[in-house]
Amino acid sequence: MGNWSDNEILDKFRNSETKNYGFNLLMQEYKQRVYWHVRRMVIDHEDANDITQDIFIKIWNGLNSFNEESKLYTWIYRIASNECITFLNKKKRMFFIPIVNVEEQLSAHIDSNENFSGDEIQKKLQKAILTLPEKQRLVFNMKYYDELKYEEIAEITGTSVGALKASYHLATKKIEEFLSKD
Amino acid sequence: MSQKINIEELKKENGFSVPPNYFDSLENTIQERIHTKEHKSLLFRFRYPSIAFAASFIAFSIWLSSKNDFVPTAVAPATIDYVSYVNENIDEFEDEIVYETYTPTASIEVSEVEQKKIEKTEALDEYLLDEGVDEEVLLDEL
């Protein structure tokens, strides 16, 4: 987290004179987290860029009605997660491709040098994560990379903590098996 | 023989790359998109009433000037007011209307055609609003 609390950002955004400033603070605070959350789901940079921009436009349009029942970042993560799932579903519908082909397509992006600069084990890990169903992939990424607590992920996904723990455990097992294969 | 890998022992970096300075320009790109959308939205709301107002003013001025008992000094301020109104709100007018306004040969027939076009547009707007069509979706189609 940076220098500004969510409450300070919200106060600035809700004041018409400092609305733009408040929104800039919000973007500074969350742009990288949102982008990487999206990028790990859609793999391609151009897609991640478009979706990230759309997410922040949605945040701009919806922030006035944000009721603070949840924390700001869980609300943002929820929007981002929904946008990713919507994008992936649209992609499948648009090209009438069965799910396995979308995964293959995403996996091919990982092989492209312009998209990926990590080492072989990181590449293999990303490909292993792609073998998971989308929602399990979301949960795995939030727990493994963003290191969110199960309670926070539960708030974002609307799933029980118990189910999330089970999902993460199974995902880890599947990934480790994939990585252990030659 | 394959080796058992524990993912908690791996570096938690995802390995993806982004173009240089990507995050530095992201805020500006998003702000531009937001303000372009809002500008379009404002135009949608205010352009048609302004055009209707301007066109009816042109028609009224031309009708007045065609009258035999017309007193030139009485209409002069109104014409000047209209020109300054257009100048102040130039962004709200379509080019076509601005050209017509400043063309001395602008005729009553042209204004009538324009008026009909506006009535049709207003009827369409009302229909769309009644049908609850999303303004943002419409603007994206433009």
What string of DSSP letters covers chain B? -PPP--GGGS-----B---TTHHHHHHHHHHHHHHHHHHHHHHHHHHHHHHHHHHHHHHHHHHHHHSTT--HHHHHHHHHHHHHHHHHTGGGS-HHHHHHHH-TT--HHHHHHHHHHHHHHHHHHHHHHHTT--HHHHHHH-
- At residue A173, the pLDDT reads 95
Q: Do A126 and B15 touch (CB under 8 A)?
A: yes
For chain B, the structural domain boundaries read: 24-141
Using an 8 Å CB-CB cutoff, list chain B residues near A123: 15
Using an 8 Å CB-CB cutoff, list chain B residues near A144: 7, 12
- At residue A100, the pLDDT reads 57
Q: Do B26 and A52 touch (CB under 8 A)?
A: yes
Residue B28 sits at the chain A interface (C-beta within 8 Å): no
Closest chain B C-alpha to A118 CA, distance in angstroms: 4
Closest chain A C-alpha to B37 CA, distance in angstroms: 10
Residue B129 sits at the chain A interface (C-beta within 8 Å): no
Residue pLDDT, tens place only, A25-76: 999 999 999 999 999 999 999 999 999 999 999 999 999 889 888 899 999 9
Residue pLDDT, tens place only, B19-50: 999 999 999 999 999 988 776 665 555 555 66
Confidence tier at A107 by pLDDT (50, 70, 90): confident
What pTM does this model have? Answer: 0.66
What fold does the segment set A6-180 form as a domain? Rna Polymerase Sigma Factor; Chain: A (1.10.1740)
Question: Mean pLDDT lowest for which of A20-34, A95-109, B44-58?
Answer: B44-58
Q: Do A179 and B7 touch (CB under 8 A)?
A: yes
Nearest to B27 among A27, A116, A180 (CB): A27
Residue pLDDT, tens place only, A131-141: 999 999 999 99
